[in-house]
């Protein structure tokens, strides 16, 4: 299977993760005009599974190091399967809770609470599992990225003042979603061997771990997204019949979103041996700022903003870039 053997390349992979995790939601924006989120989310999950399988059968089955993808799936223990599947279930529930929180309380309240909490707790949890990297630089960098998320929220709140109708419920959902989001990566890492070239017997290597993780997302979606369809956050309840009314282009947009997200997840897991789980996860969750870049420069969400808001945006990007550099330097 293909693995990377240098810290520099691991950082490049983590930056790709950040770009992917910060960009997949653009596909939901493209589909939103004619396609309900609940229906989009089915295609998104299918895209994740398809990309994980494709990577397993290609990159995970070539080369002389590690174990081939199919052999890796066959030799893994029940415990390894359980941990990777649980990681997928946790991620899926966390993702849906944060989306619900955004719908109820608005992006400015829900996103910094959910993703900011996930970033800080996730780095702490993953660093405890494998203490790789300078802790002072790592946590200082994470603090700066978290500060950037807060500044982004302040700017977004000003531009959308008066649009938040039920912050209390949204905050509770965001807190729960953030805690869960901080845990999924840890469970996937627990299912894997720490040595990819000479993996421990019974443990997964990256490609099999991501594939089983994606199956956890798919299986849990029959529960979580079905509930969401029957009791939607916004709009009327919908059934599965509506899903099959969509044309191939609208389904393709959703699948593309899942493929983009899963490229990021796969690259993060592949990079985690050289970079360490905490740095891989921390850099990946910098995706919030990538999403902010899309919002500022492509979707023009801050067009006509005041000087005060522009100052917050400038401070946000300064904190983000500084935090990113410290996280990268922590592993050198």
Average pLDDT over residues 266-271: 97
Segment 19-57, tens digit of pLDDT: 999 899 889 888 888 899 899 999 999 999 999 999 999
Looking at the predicted structure, is the pLDDT value of residue 107 above 70? no
Segment 160-213, tens digit of pLDDT: 665 555 667 878 888 999 999 999 999 999 999 989 999 999 999 999 999 999
Looking at the predicted structure, is the pLDDT value of residue 236 above 70? yes
Rg of the chain in Å (alpha carbons): 19
* Unique residue bearing structure tokens 């603090």: 143
* Number of helical H runs and strand E runs in the chain: 15, 0
Contact 238, 113 (CB under 8 A): no
Token digits of residue 141: 């960098």
Report phi then psi at 95, rounded to 5: -60, -45
Average pLDDT over residues 60-79: 95
- Please tell me the pTM assigned to this model: 0.92
Instruction: Compute CA distances 193 → 66, 197, 201, 273, whole Å.
Output: 10, 10, 8, 9
Q: Of 19-33, 135-149, 164-178, 314-328, where does mean pLDDT reach its minimum?
A: 164-178
Give the Cα separation of 263 and 225 in Å (integer).
Answer: 23
Paired residues of 204 in beta bridges: 192
pLDDT of residue 167: 65
Paired residues of 192 in beta bridges: 204
Give the Cα separation of 123 and 212 in Å (integer).
Answer: 23
Token digits of residue 316: 């946000």
Average pLDDT over residues 247-267: 96
Pick the residue with more confidence: 270 or 292? 270
């Amino acid at each position: 299977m293909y693995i990377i053997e240098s810290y520099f390349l691991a950082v490049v992979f983590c930056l790709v993760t950040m770009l992917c995790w910060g960009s997949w939601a653009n596909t939901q924006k493209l589909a939103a005009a004619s396609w309900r989120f609940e229906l989009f989310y089915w295609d998104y999950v299918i895209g994740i599974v398809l990309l994980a399988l494709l990577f397993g059968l290609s990159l995970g089955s070539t080369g002389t190091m590690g174990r081939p993808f199919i052999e890796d799936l066959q030799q893994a223990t029940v415990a390894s399967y359980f941990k990777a599947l649980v990681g997928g279930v946790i991620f899926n529930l966390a993702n849906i809770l944060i989306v619900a929180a955004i719908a109820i309380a608005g992006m400015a309240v829900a996103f910094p609470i959910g993703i900011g909490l996930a970033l800080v707790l996730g780095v702490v949890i993953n660093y405890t599992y494998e203490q790789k990297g300078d802790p002072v630089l790592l946590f200082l960098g994470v603090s700066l990225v978290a500060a950037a998320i807060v500044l982004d929220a302040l700017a977004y709140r000003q531009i959308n003042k008066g649009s938040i109708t039920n912050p209390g419920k949204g905050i509770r959902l965001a807190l729960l979603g953030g805690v869960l989001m901080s845990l999924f990566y840890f469970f996937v890492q627990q299912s894997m061997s720490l040595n990819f070239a000479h993996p421990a017997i019974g443990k997964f290597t990256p490609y099999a771990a991501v594939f089983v993780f994606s199956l956890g997302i798919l299986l849990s979606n029959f529960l979580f997204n079905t509930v969401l369809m029957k009791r939607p956050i916004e709009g009327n309840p919908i059934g599965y019949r509506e899903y099959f009314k969509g044309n191939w282009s609208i389904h393709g947009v959703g699948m593309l979103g899942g493929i983009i997200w899963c490229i990021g997840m796969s690259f993060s897991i592949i990079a985690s041996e050289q970079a360490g789980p905490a740095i891989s996860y921390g850099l990946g969750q910098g995706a919030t700022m990538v999403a902010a870049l899309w919002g500022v420069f492509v979707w023009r969400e801050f067009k006509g903003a005041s000087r005060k808001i522009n100052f917050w945006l400038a401070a946000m990007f300064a904190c983000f870039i500084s935090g990113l550099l410290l996280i990268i330097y922590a592993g050198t």
